[in-house]
Structure 1
Amino acid sequence: MPMILRHVTVDSAEPYEIARFWSEVTGWPLGEGDVPGDDEVLVDAPDPVPGLLFIRVPEAKAVKNRVHIDWQPDERTRDEEVDRLIGLGAKLFEDHRTPEGRGWVTMHDPEGNEFCVEGR
């Protein structure tokens, strides 16, 4: 294998705060020694999954993400997970669920980054 995907890196205004949100979403711990005010904060995924690395940048998010992550709940239904994420601070952006139970939901994290929640 020529390369391994190590991290998915996300520009952010407040790396520690957004990393805490994603740590709650995923159940993965923050990187060892990461503290409020750090310019880089890792959400440490279990191997072989890449971690989520949040890097402080001075400019605000201005446009739609060119890449986003699609999530599939493991212990809950898609709809239960959407409700849980809203409770954690995510916002519903576009609802693509269909009456027969298929489809997905596009959401924004607290900094406005898009992600999707799919059904099983």
Structure 2
Amino acid sequence: MTSSIRHVTIDCADAYRLAAFWAEVLGQPVHEDDKPGDEEALIEGAGLLFVTVTEPKTVKNRLHLDLQPQDRTRDEEIERLLAVGATLVDDRRNADGRGWAVLADPEGNEFCVERGAAERAG
């Protein structure tokens, strides 16, 4: 027998608030049973579980998500994410169209945005 990953669990200060941000990013809902103030919040379709902890984030993430836009360019997706509350941490986009951008969610967890699916195919 083997194991499978059920969730990627993200410790945070406010589980529902951070889940709501990621639900907007991914276009998937926060689980219907989860409400503001809950200690846990789940985005079931993405396998992301957010858990409220008392310790603050102190160092760079050892694990991060790489996003690939499916219906827009990388640059369009970065603009959308900035508008919903992400911040730009490091811009590694190159003049030739390659590269990525490092963003952070509202609690400072880093993630990358790579070229979109159509950009990779082209």
TM beyond 0.5:
yes
How far apart, in 2, do the equivalents of 1:9 and 1:95 lie?
Answer: 26
> Runs of at least 4 residues of structure 1 off by over 4 A?
none
Q: 1:68 — aligned with what? A: 64
Aligned 1:1-120 pairs, distance under 5 A: 2-45=2-45, 50-120=46-116
Where does structure 1 lack aligned partners over 5 or more consecutive residues?
none
RMSD of aligned residue pairs (Cα, Å): 1.0
Deviation at 1:82, TM superposition (A): 0.2
SS at match of 1:96: strand
Where does structure 2 lack aligned partners over 5 or more consecutive residues?
117-122
Name the amino acid aligned to 1:52: L
Deviation at 1:24, TM superposition (A): 0.3
TM-score, normalised to structure 2's length? 0.92
Identity, % of aligned pairs? 55
More helix by share: 2
